[in-house]
Structure 1
């Protein structure tokens, strides 16, 4: 009886301690989410004092018929895939290089993560200066020094070159997250496994495939899933860099605040949530509770 009473008291204490966090989640996550779903069924004016007209699934049907939405969705998927693969590959490669002792290793690690911890606004304006059409260092080196370009490219005036710049920027800015994650798991791998592989005459690729890859696979899947979610919702970096790359974050923003169509914008965000929810479910099936694939 005492054990049962103690368990009940522990549960009550746990609920009391969790209550502030639960209320905060309900206030900052659940309420905005439910409110957004509600708005998606209305023709909602910008002015909250004006009445909203219930339109049912009209906003969703309009989105499904909008060619600009599918174009933006395809561009977002391409942007997300390229940045996720690029940042993950670069982060893993640098983590493998740093997973060994060398002079000034700690200092080098600190420098590696600078791009990740520096505010985006500072990095964006630095890149806009670097790729400036007239006096940017990229055009100076590519045209005047190495003669790679015959004429200086107008990086932010062309959709293709603008897309290339935002992809490279995202890979450079976000690879330290993958680097930190992979370096942490690499340092937990038993060194005797690599010694045994050396005795068996395994090559670098064979050691990576047989020893390293299985060990880092849970972290790899987690990094890819989280980065996919974050990049799919990207807005700030692309919006500040150029107006030529109309990914879904910018398409949603313009729908809401340029065209004042909050109902349609809300329906877009709901569709994005469904897409990401499916991605998360698929990813969870690849990783079980023990962290293996």
Structure 2
């Protein structure tokens, strides 16, 4: 048995366990840029510097705002589209496939398309709002402007990840017994009453799972934010800048450890409140 498990155990140890232990160690160590110089153990000094840095707490606030808005927006949009796509109409299969496109398409191609659409010079959004509908007097830099960068990133992530909620909710909707709706119709229940008293209670577990899982994933989201706009410094972007702009690998590792603690707390909440283990 151990001979069969050994390759998997070794692979997990090299790919998962060793990087985690190394990252924790780096959080307590000052690592010089010159590899010839020795590392210096500094204890909790780097953690103290992080928690006393106002930029860190601003990054936390931005991450919370981004996560709350994207989780709520993608879940509600996914719910609305799932309810719509659960009805019978011509071309429903094709429509469902189109809805999934933002989630399955490569991220870099989606980001390129969005940056092209909202480009201040040749983007069609500025052309529409400035030339066709003169709502604005001049073009706006939607993606890189400090005023619009966060809303644009939130809007992009809602659009990109609502198909996940749509797929999970649609699968649950299709498993709800139709006899429940038929019995409600006999009792004189309307569409809203059936949705409120039958559909939503049946979706409660799925919705709870979607919210908690998407919260965990979105709070640590880096690639979407960084590729779309460099003016939205969430906590993961803050850690990246510490590592590769300030070249402070120890502080970046300490930030990662703090994020890991937050994720462990979120997973514990998911297991206890949603899975109820």
The aligned runs of 1:52-71 (5 Å cut-off) are: 52-71=39-58
Matching of residue 28 in structure 1 with residue 15 in structure 2: yes
The aligned runs of 1:199-278 (5 Å cut-off) are: 199-278=186-265
CA distance, structure 2, for counterparts of residue 99 and residue 22 of structure 1: 44
SS across alignment from 1:172: helix
CA gap 1:108/1:70 in 2 versus in 1, 3 angstroms:
same
Greater alpha carbon shift after TM alignment, 147-156 vs 109-118:
147-156
CA distance, structure 2, for counterparts of residue 39 and residue 180 of structure 1: 40
Greater alpha carbon shift after TM alignment, 72-81 vs 196-205:
196-205
CA distance, structure 1, for counterparts of residue 31 and residue 208 of structure 2: 39
Contact 1:36-1:266 at 8 Å conserved across structures:
yes
CA gap 1:113/1:17 in 2 versus in 1, 3 angstroms:
farther
CA distance, structure 2, for counterparts of residue 138 and residue 165 of structure 1: 13
TM-score, with length taken from structure 2 = 0.94
Post-superposition CA distance 1:98-151 (Å, at most 9, x none): 112221111111111111111111111111110011121111112222333233
Query: Which residue does 2:137 correspond to in 1?
Result: 150
Tell me how many residue pairs correspond in the alignment: 277
TM-score, with length taken from structure 1 = 0.89
CA distance, structure 1, for counterparts of residue 173 and residue 34 of structure 2: 54
CA distance, structure 2, for counterparts of residue 30 and residue 218 of structure 1: 32
SS across alignment from 1:171: helix
Matching of residue 116 in structure 1 with residue 116 in structure 2: no
SS across alignment from 1:127: helix
CA distance, structure 1, for counterparts of residue 59 and residue 208 of structure 2: 26
Greater alpha carbon shift after TM alignment, 259-268 vs 231-240:
231-240
CA distance, structure 1, for counterparts of residue 190 and residue 53 of structure 2: 52
Gaps in structure 2 of 5+ consecutive residues: none
Contact 1:77-1:232 at 8 Å conserved across structures:
yes
Instruction: Please report how far the alpha carbon of residue 55 of structure 1 lies from its aligned counterpart in structure 2 after TM superposition.
Output: 0.3
